[in-house]
């Protein structure tokens, strides 16, 4: 098969499409012939050498995919050859075929094309596991998501609104904010022009928001804490603004704040399977009803993976970028 290979750690130019061996499946895995894979920020970090794959993972990039099942391990009972599915991957999506644990596979939701479904597993599992399973966002609460026009952000807006939350977003252009508004965001903040702490307080009558999903990290940490209501929950999923900072602990104690962090890829096979099960149960009905949709910005052939990475790193896109074999 063909796969995109990282020839050496570096910029987008190090990605090359090469002939490689087909993956071999274990008894609890299935083999998928890919329709598409979607880019994630972690792919660019792995490419430049700052985010090595976990032990035993595929050496190739790609954390989610969609496609048709070509082979099924003897311990897999739910799926059969010919099923059209999407999947959460430990790596290997930038290829024509990929092996994946049977518990990390999802059916294609009604109304979503096989190609577009490639943009669902990573965002759905990330947002549901962090915002809902761990931070317990509930109807009537207020929710702030940074990077509202990103793949994570566009999905978080839709599912939070579907579950009855009031949604605030930050983004860096009026075009991106307008798109977030179209998706259902109640309050749209241009972080280049406004103080998001002051605006969050203003929009909540001085209380602050209940839950924040943050991909920035260090440079936003104190501001995020200042933006939270009593019993507020901050969930950190990225470090685009750095990983080390200082905070005022006296912000945490009086308001009983909770700060959490998590990533999907390092989780155990069993934990990821549990998250996938919860996503199918709680998120897939909203997708099937058309209340939550994959937001796809552009598709590239596998041979143009470098161009796709350049687009992602330019932060000029809205939603997800796909690669198609």
Q: Residue 219 in contact with residue 243, Cβ under 8 Å? A: no
- Residue 65 neighbours by CB under 8 Å, 6+ apart: 32, 34, 35, 36, 37, 38, 86, 87, 89, 93, 98, 100, 118, 121
Mean pLDDT, the chain, integer: 97
Block residue for tokens 């790609």: 62
Task: State the pLDDT at residue 156.
Answer: 98
Task: State the pLDDT at residue 24.
Answer: 96
As a 3-state breakdown, the chain gives helix, strand, coil percent values, each rounded to 5, of 35, 25, 40
Residue 316: pLDDT above 90? no
Q: What is the mean pLDDT of residues 307-314?
A: 97
Predicted confidence (pLDDT) per residue in 75-109, tens digit:
999 999 999 999 999 999 999 999 999 999 999 99
Residue 315: pLDDT above 90? no
**Domains of the chain, each with CATH number or no CATH:** 1-121+264-321 (3.90.180.10), 134-259 (3.40.50.720)
Residue 129: pLDDT above 90? yes
| Closest by Cα among 249, 142, 240, 150 to 199 | 142
Residue 147: pLDDT above 90? yes
Q: Containing H/E element for 125? A: helix 121-127
Q: Residue 325 in contact with residue 2, Cβ under 8 Å? A: yes
* pLDDT range class, residue 1, cuts 50, 70, 90: very high
Predicted confidence (pLDDT) per residue in 38-75, tens digit:
999 999 999 999 999 999 999 999 999 999 999 999 99
For the purposes of burial, counting CB atoms within 10 Å of the CB of 18, is it exposed (0-12), middle (13-18) or buried (19 or more)?
exposed
At 50, is the secondary structure helix, strand, or coil?
coil
Q: Does the pTM exceed 0.85?
A: yes
CA distance 325 to 323: 7
Strands 97-101 and 64-72, by their bridges, are unpaired
């Amino acid at each position: 098969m063909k796969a995109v290979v990282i020839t050496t750690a570096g910029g987008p130019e190090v990605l090359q499409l090469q002939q490689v061996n087909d993956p071999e499946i274990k008894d609890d895995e299935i083999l998928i012939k890919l329709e598409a894979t979607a880019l994630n920020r972690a792919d660019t970090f792995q490419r430049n050498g700052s985010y090595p794959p976990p032990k035993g993972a595929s050496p190739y990039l790609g954390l989610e995919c969609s496609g048709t099942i070509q082979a099924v391990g003897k311990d897999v009972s739910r799926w059969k050859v010919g099923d059209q599915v999407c999947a959460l991957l430990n790596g290997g999506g930038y290829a024509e075929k990929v092996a994946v644990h049977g518990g990390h596979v999802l059916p294609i939701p009604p109304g979503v094309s096989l190609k577009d479904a490639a943009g669902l597993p990573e965002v759905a599992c990330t947002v549901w596991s962090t915002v809902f399973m761990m931070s317990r966002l509930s109807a009537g609460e207020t929710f702030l998501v940074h990077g509202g026009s990103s793949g994570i952000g566009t999905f978080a807006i839709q599912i939070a609104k579907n579950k009855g939350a009031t949604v605030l977003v930050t983004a860096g252009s009026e075009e991106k904010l307008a798109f977030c508004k179209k998706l259902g965001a109640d309050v749209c903040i241009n972080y280049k022009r406004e103080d998001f702490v002051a605006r969050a307080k203003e929009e909540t009558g001085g209380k602050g928001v209940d839950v924040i999903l943050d991909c920035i990290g260090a440079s936003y940490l104190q501001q995020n804490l200042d933006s939270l209501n009593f019993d507020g929950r901050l969930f950190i999923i990225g470090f685009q603004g750095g990983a080390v900072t200082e905070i005022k602990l006296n912000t945490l104690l009086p308001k009983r704040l909770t700060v959490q962090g998590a990533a999907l890829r390092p989780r155990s096979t069993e934990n990821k399977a549990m998250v996938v099960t919860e996503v199918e149960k709680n998120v897939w009905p909203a997708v099937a009803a058309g209340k939550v949709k994959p937001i796809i910005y552009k598709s590239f052939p596998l041979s143009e993976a470098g161009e796709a990475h350049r687009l992602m790193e330019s932060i000029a896109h809205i939603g997800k970028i796909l690669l198609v074999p």
